[in-house]
Amino acid sequence: MTSSITIRLGKRARARIAAEGMQAADIAIIPAAAGGPKGLILNGLDIWAFGEWLKGAPRQRRLIGASIGAWRMAASAFDDPVAAHKRLAQLYSAQQYPEKVKSPQVTATCRTLLDELLDGRGAEVLHHTQHHLSVLTVRGIGALGRSDGQRWREMAGFIGAATGNLLARSQLAKAMERVIFHHQHDHSAWLRDGFDAFHAHFVGLSDANLRDALLASGSIPLVLQAVNDIAGAPQGPYWDGGLIDYHLHLPYQRDEGLVLYPHFSDYIVPGWLDKSLPWRRARDAALENVILISPSPEFVAHLPNSKLPDRADFKAYGQNHGLRMRDWRRAIGESERMAEDFARWCERPDLKQAASF
């Protein structure tokens, strides 16, 4: 049977696995990309990794995510990550909207989703002794910093930002900053030395800002409202962390450990606005200690509609919510195959089956 996964290894990761095997104790960082419903295809891997494999090798690990990736990593930091990941998949797939939905309603629905995901147990995430969560968000500056909730003003600001990004990714730094909400015992030291053009703020996660940080991290411009003035953070409007960090192209090589990266794609795109710019795909030394696991083309071909769940499904399925939820949940169920195949590979890593970056 064709494998359900594709594996890519950085040079240092390949050498470590060749010498020592695939050891859960070596995993120091787990990133999680933005990407909306695409992240649902990683549910099986999340449940296996946090419910079994990593649990057997306790150590402090950095969990860092943007948008649905931040929500997945928050679920991973519960005392019962298996139940939390199942709850997240159920809640996310159950979203329903009228045909002409507006951003206040989407925002309200996502707030409720996060309330139900956290279920009054946010303290487990905030104080987890081994899994240290970091949530990536974007703070608008310049024209985007003056957002007053008016759609035309936000649209004009984002059109200007997209135009600048097309010229050079560094131009996007004139419109937005990276704000990292981090676990109280992990001050994100590996990110504090500059590694790109974006100014960064570091804010400790607390009971006062956990939900708002998670909501902001997934607040797609013009789809959700900006989250304003988050407790403990610089004032201003906050949006989806994927705008800067879509696939989290971060300086992973600064850590001596390995990076386990379950991903819905077999390549890494720096920012959301770089999706259609293939020359921006990451191929540098930052990936030298990365283990990237993604669904294989053969696996995707057997999913409903021969594709991953995605945000366009809300429009494609229209008001047939039941059919969309059925197909998304079928994809979630199929994701268990990815976990099974990766678990077998971890037991006896065949490096010939793993591509390089």
**pLDDT tens digits, one per residue of 326-347:** 999 999 999 999 999 999 999 9
Check residue 271 and give its pLDDT.
97
In angstroms, the Cα distances linking 338 to 242, 262, 296, 329 are 24, 10, 9, 15
Report phi then psi at 13, rounded to 5. Answer: -65, -40
Q: Compute the C-alpha angle 346/352/357, nearest 5°.
A: 90
Q: Which two tokens stand for residue 2?
A: 């064709």
Q: Compute the C-alpha angle 260/266/161, nearest 5°.
A: 100
Query: Could you report the per-residue pLDDT of 281-329, keeping only the tens digit for each?
Result: 998 899 999 999 999 999 999 999 999 999 999 999 999 999 999 999 9
Label residue 184 exposed, middle or buried (CB < 10 Å: 0-12, 13-18, 19+): exposed
Long-range contacts made by residues 148-153, C-beta under 8 angstroms, separation at least 24?
149/225, 149/226, 151/103, 151/222
How many Cβ atoms from other residues are within 10 Å of residue 275's Cβ? 15
What is the pLDDT confidence band of residue 187, given thresholds at 50, 70 and 90?
confident
- Terminal alpha carbon distance of the chain: 25
Q: Stretch 60-83: mean pLDDT, rounded?
A: 98
Q: Domain 9-293, CATH 3.40.1090 — does that match? A: yes
What is the pLDDT confidence band of residue 105, given thresholds at 50, 70 and 90?
very high
Instruction: Using a pLDDT cut of 70, give the percent of the chain over it.
Output: 99
* Mean pLDDT rounded to a whole number for the chain: 95
Identify whether the C-beta of residue 251 lies closer than 8 Å to the C-beta of residue 195. yes
What is the pLDDT confidence band of residue 1, given thresholds at 50, 70 and 90?
very low
Identify whether the C-beta of residue 292 lies closer than 8 Å to the C-beta of residue 263. yes
Check residue 148 and give its pLDDT.
67
Identify whether the C-beta of residue 223 lies closer than 8 Å to the C-beta of residue 153. no
Identify whether the C-beta of residue 13 lies closer than 8 Å to the C-beta of residue 291. yes
Q: Stretch 88-100: mean pLDDT, rounded?
A: 96
Check residue 149 and give its pLDDT.
65
Residues ≥6 apart with Cβ < 8 Å to 322: none
Check residue 2 and give its pLDDT.
61
Tracing tokens 């040079």 back to the chain, one arrives at 11
How many Cβ atoms from other residues are within 10 Å of residue 340's Cβ? 15
Sign of the alpha-carbon torsion through 234, 32, 224, 211:
negative
Query: Could you report the per-residue pLDDT of 108-153, keeping only the tens digit for each?
Result: 999 999 999 999 999 999 999 999 999 999 999 998 887 666 777 8
CA atoms of 304 and 321, how far apart (whole Å): 15
Residues ≥6 apart with Cβ < 8 Å to 249: 268, 269, 270, 282, 286
CA atoms of 99 and 116, how far apart (whole Å): 24
